[in-house]
Amino acid sequence: MPRTCNSASTHDGCSELLLHVDSEFSSFLNYSPLTNRQHLSIFLSPERNMSIQKHHVWEYPTLSTPKAILRFVFTWLVTLAIFVVLFSRIPFHDVVSLLQQTDMRFLCAGLLCSVLAHLFFSSARFQRVVKMTGCRISFGEAVIIRMGCNPIKGILPFKMGEFAILGYMKERHHLSYARGLLALLSGYMFSFTALIFFCSMGGLFYVHPPLQKMLFAAACLLIVLLIAISIRQNFFRPVVLYIHKILRLPENVRKIIESYDPQTGQAIMIHSLAIEGCKLLIILFSFKSLSIDLPVDALLLWGSMTIIAAYLPMTYWGLGIRESAVIVLFAGYAAPGHLLAAGLLMTFVDGLLPVLLGLFFIRPFLNNWLGSMMQK
């Protein structure tokens, strides 16, 4: 039986904005009737499939409407356009030749970092982020959720696959969409904070005075702020109350943030640093696999900016965006062909590999999700 979270229902405290987000997401996915559920038959037993069709409780996302198809095509057109521009300036056969010379030792090290980041640290962080909303799940289920939604994220454009987690948590743990969305946004917020920290540390040694002193002061201020938030709960509370007064946040969202647990926040911050640190190592090993030397300060500064650029929901898996950022930001460290090859390795290790690993978890992910619906 799914465990029930200590959260309010969708009727109490959900703001109109969050309800609008949910309705927009539903219309984007174009939820279809259960009669079109043959796509999931390989994951479900015949008895379960018949039970779902009988209850009509889940609406399977498709890309059958013109609006959804347009967004799907637009994302791929952006991706293709970027690579058309890149390969018009960099010979394709040169990039292929460089990839064939990849040092497999460093590539395997990058693959290990990707597994640690996505399978372990990301799941552990999600478990603790959800805990902040009043919901408790096991680490094993957190792995199933985080990894199982990766193939869905790989199909839907604009990172909309993340919202599959909202549906899972709503049906299995009765976590309202407002709290689920807050959990997802909190994870990105901590990741962005970790990347700003790494970027500041890199800029501290990379940039020459007087900007160096300014970056050093900003980095020190950020460290003090993180420590204060992680250790002192009373430091965080008046800030939230002031923001609530100005922006009129939903009451349930205010209560979640106001009941912030410093130990949980500290653990989330540590896991976020570990996740983004692994991604920086992926960049380093991708360069090393092509015999490109990269200083630590450049890795921290430009690598963090590359990761931030890859988070932009413009293409699938950051494909094209990541490669372009690598060519522009690391222009002084290798030829464009080498940089493009390194960017492609990063996309494979940090973008495509999690999707492939997620195929091993999508079956329990869907079974848990749909099984919870049948019990209603």
pLDDT one-digit tens code per residue, 57-67: 334 444 556 76
Among the listed residues 331, 307, 332, the one whose alpha carbon sits nearest the alpha carbon of residue 321: 307
Instruction: With a cut of 80, say whether residue 46 has pLDDT above it.
Output: no
Work out the mean pLDDT of the chain and round it to a whole number: 77
Tally Cβ neighbours within 10 Å of residue 248: 10
The mean per-residue pLDDT over the stretch 80-109 comes to 93
**156 vs 127, more confident:** 127
Percent above pLDDT 70 for the chain: 68
Q: Percent of the chain having pLDDT more than 90?
A: 35
pLDDT at 59: 42
- pLDDT attached to residue 374: 65
- pLDDT tens for each residue of 299-343: 999 999 999 998 887 777 778 899 999 999 999 899 999 999 999
What is the predicted pLDDT for the residue at 263?
78
pLDDT at position 123 over 80: yes
Distance from C-alpha of 340 to C-alpha of 322, rounded to nearest angstrom:
9
Does position 239 have pLDDT exceeding 70, yes or no?
A: no
Contact residues for 278 (Cβ-Cβ < 8 A; gap 6+): 113, 114, 116, 117, 121
Q: Which of 40-49, 164-173, 250-259 has the highest mean pLDDT?
A: 164-173
Q: What is the CA radius of gyration of the chain?
A: 22
- Would you call 32 helix, strand, or coil by DSSP? strand
Would you list the DSSP string of 311-361?
A: TSTTSGGGTTHHHHHHHHHTTTTS-HHHHHHHHHHHIIIIIIHHHHHHTTT
The residues near 212 (Cβ < 8 Å, ≥ 6 apart) are 203, 204, 205
Mean pLDDT of 239-255: 64
**Segment 26-43, tens digit of pLDDT:** 443 333 333 333 333 433
Provide the 3-class DSSP secondary structure of residue 9: coil
Could you tell me the two tokens for 55? 């209850």
The answer on pLDDT for 237 being more than 80 is no
For the residues 353-364, what does the mean pLDDT come to?
Answer: 92
- At 167 the pLDDT is 86
For residue 367, pLDDT beyond 90: no
pLDDT of residue 253: 62
The yes-or-no verdict on residue 372 having pLDDT over 70 is no
Q: What is the pLDDT of residues 135-184, one digit of tens each?
A: 899 999 999 999 998 888 877 766 777 888 888 888 888 888 878 888 88
Each residue's pLDDT tens digit, 191-235: 988 898 888 888 777 776 676 667 777 776 777 676 666 655 556
Burial (CB < 10 A; 0-12, 13-18, 19+), residue 168, is buried
The pLDDT confidence band at residue 248, using thresholds 50, 70 and 90, is low
